[in-house]
Amino acid sequence: MRYKLVELEPYRPEDTQQKIDEDHGLHPDDKYLKPGRIPHIWCPGCGLGIVLAAFIKGMDSMEVNVDNCAVVSGIGCTGRVAGYLDMDTYHTTHGRAIPFATGLKCAKPEMEVVVFSGDGDLFAIGGNHLIHAARRNMDLTVICVNNFNYGMTGGQSGPTTHMTAKTVTTPYGNCEYPFNLTHLAYASGAVYVARWTSFHARYLIESIRKCFSKKGFKFIEVLTPCPTGYGRPNKLGTGLEQMKDYRDNSEIRNGINPMEADAALRGPIVVGEFVDQEKPTFLDRYNEDILGKMSSSG
Ligand SMILES: Cc1ncc(C[n+]2csc(CCOP(=O)(O)OP(=O)(O)O)c2C)c(N)n1
Ligand code: SF4
């Protein structure tokens, strides 16, 4: 079969105003979105829209000043979030959302910095950055959409792909052990760790709200259907059917050690707010310990 590349219209900010005048603003969340970028690229049944809507709801209900908040994404279907939000957003290179966000936070400590990216972006190519930002307790909120595969590039296996799951690169089933992202984030030093699915939108909003009121490295994993890349080869059904599976096979266990938080291919899935602790951030310690010593020695 021959594919014809569709030529995309370049984004023109002047179109935005025209769209707003025509039909934008009908929904209360519209003020957070760039109408010139909608419709989005996500497949029917993809859970990404729910996660983005939950983020907007959390931000809106906390009355976060969008002029003082930045969203940083890597590359992938999840990374597209940066292009849809009408605020300071950065669509960085693959795997580099965390170092970009770290630099931003150090340069502008007064800003809320949120990293929004996929499991492959954050834990494969970007895995080293994530564990070290957690170790340093950088004051960042990381929302990781885990759809268990590289969605954007056609459904390859990655560090979260379930053992035995089929993907385009594991046609006989995956034989690698997957990461438990919540356990890894906790072991690396995160002060807040939660896991929800895109079915648990209200809990997810609460976690996002909490992250806006808490300092340190905060990590939220959101299990999300990718019916195109992962659902199809593994016969998980449509996005809606996967949402029903999340409803029927999830168990909320707040406060457990994330090490015990399983998330099997066809359930059971353990979700909840696993970790909530306090610890000085990198910038707290740097400003107090290092800058203090530098000024007293000079
Ligand atoms: C340096 C580099 N390597 C590889 C790619 C190709 N690439 C683009 S997105 C992606 C994977 C995205 O997977 P994930 O982060 O899980 O996000 P999803 O698309 O599933 O939301 C890859 C490998 C790239 N853009 N840059
Ligand atoms: S490929 Fe998967 S993750 Fe990407 S938009 Fe489609 S369903 Fe969503």
Listed by start position, the domains of the chain span: 14-19+27-297
Q: Specify the CATH superfamily of domain 14-19+27-297.
A: Thiamin diphosphate (ThDP)-binding fold, Pyr/PP domains (3.40.50.970)
Ligand 2 mutation pick, 73, 77, 78, max ligand atoms within 8 A of CB: 77
- Looking at ligand 1, which residue's alpha carbon is closest to its atom 2? 94
Q: What span, in angstroms and rounded, lies between the C-alpha atoms of 32 and 88?
A: 11
pLDDT average, residue stretch 205-209:
97
- Answer yes or no: is pLDDT of 253 > 70: yes
Q: Which residues line ligand 1 (CB under 6 A)?
A: 75-78, 94, 118-121, 145, 147, 150-153, 158
Q: What is the chain's alpha carbon radius of gyration, rounded to the nearest angstrom?
A: 19
At 65 the pLDDT is 95
Asked whether the whole model's pTM tops 0.85, one would answer yes
Backbone angles phi, psi at 272, to 5 degrees: 145, 180
The alpha carbon of 127 and the centre of ligand 1 are apart by a number of angstroms equal to 13
Structure confidence by residue, pLDDT tens digits, 94-150: 999 999 999 999 999 999 999 999 999 999 999 999 999 999 999 999 999 999 999
Q: pLDDT class for 185, splitting at 50, 70, 90? A: very high
- Answer yes or no: is pLDDT of 1 > 50: no
pLDDT average, residue stretch 66-77:
97
C-beta separation of 95 from 64 below 8 A? no
Give percent above pLDDT 90 in the chain: 84
Q: What span, in angstroms and rounded, lies between the C-alpha atoms of 253 and 272?
A: 5
